[in-house]
Amino acid sequence: MMTTGDILDRVEGAIASCLPGESSREWLERTAGSACDIEDFAQIDRFTEPGRDLLARGGKRWRPLVMVLTGRALGGGEGAIPFTPLVELPHNGSLIIDDIEDNSVERRGKPAVHLLYGTDLSINAGNLLYFQPTWIIDRSDLPAERKALLFSGYCEDLRRLHLGQGLDIWWHSNHDRVPPLEEYMQMCRFKTGSLARMAGRFGFLLAGKSREESLEYARVWEDIGVGFQIADDITNLATGNPGKDRGDDIVEGKKSLPVILHYARSPETRTELSRCFAEARERGIAGGKDAVERAIGLIEASGSLDGAEGIGRELLESAADRLRTLLPPCGDRDTLTGMVEGFLKKRA
């Protein structure tokens, strides 16, 4: 049986097949669905390079792993591997678009790709990553009914992803708007939970399970995606996420969970915290470090980082218990629950 490392190597191969290092006629016609009158493939490489660049920088690849290990736990073997670009490519496409919308300067330890290749090419490359992997479903030998379930699920979760991103943008663009906790959780279910949901759902569907069974399992991974987002929110303010500056969420005006909890716990500091946000936004990450640190100090003093951690921990622990119920006892189930436990330790 393949090890996790072997699976991840195969996932990289599936990604490379979907978006190869160099374009070719075969790749172009497979993508376009018909013969194409183009001879100069180098020009295609120029506008697909932002996507290849970001994918080559790595990433955790935990969503593809969820899909494959779920399918294998249910008796589907490694049959999900060729389908893993369906969750990894749109994730990377969303990061490209997200960095443009947030005016981010860094991603995975390097300059954001729109700063390297231009905003126009990067928007196009990010959008292409949303649609590019769907040919995998088209060209598979799955029954038509199963293909329809995959297409329907893919479209639904990408719609959800953009609803979540829209809410997130609106909140950090509308500086006086502090969403209630329930709206924040729904935003996370849309924005971060959607692709985790897709990974779990597709693992079930590719193992031959029913739509109803797949949706029950998908809800577990949606919760895990929310827990991952909460851990990310906390890490951003506590230590800084890898490849990003500590507190860049404050510079971007993000209404993350610790910020929302702080406004509820310490409403008397609202004016002061808003002033820190405005100063950080105006001066940027380089010039606004003092404002960022003052904001983080206020949030820590109210216990809001610990409060957010408690919410995330409860969500992830519940999800891990449900994973143990929905999957048969096996090493792959243990690996998946271990992954969730790793998210629980993310702040540390």
SS3 111: strand
CATH class, 4-344 region:
mainly alpha
pLDDT score for 64:
97
The 10s digit of each residue's pLDDT in 92-111 is 999 999 999 988 888 988 99
Rg (CA), the chain: 21
**Residue ranges of the domains in the chain?**
4-344
Dihedral sign from CA coordinates of 338, 344, 347, 348: negative
- pLDDT score, position 174: 81
Report residue 248's pLDDT band, with 50, 70 and 90 as the boundaries. confident
pLDDT band at 245 (very low <50, low <70, confident <90, very high): confident
The answer on pLDDT for 347 being more than 60 is no
Tens digits of residue pLDDT in 174-225 = 877 889 999 999 999 999 999 999 999 999 999 999 999 999 999 999 999 9
Q: What is the share, in percent, of the chain residues with pLDDT greater than 70?
A: 97
What does the alpha-carbon distance between residue 322 and residue 105 come to, in Å, rounded to a whole number?
39
pLDDT at residue 186, rounded to an integer = 96
pLDDT, tens digit (0-9, with 9 covering 90-100), for 128-176: 999 999 999 999 999 999 999 999 999 999 999 999 999 999 988 887 7
pTM of the model: 0.90
Range name among 82-96, 230-244, 264-278 with the lowest pLDDT average: 230-244
Report the alpha-carbon distance of residue 244 to residue 111 in Å, rounded. Answer: 10
DSSP letter assigned to residue 240: -
Give the E-state strand segments of the chain in sequence order: 106-107, 110-111
Specify the pLDDT at position 192: 92
Cβ atoms within 10 A of the Cβ of 224, count?
Answer: 29
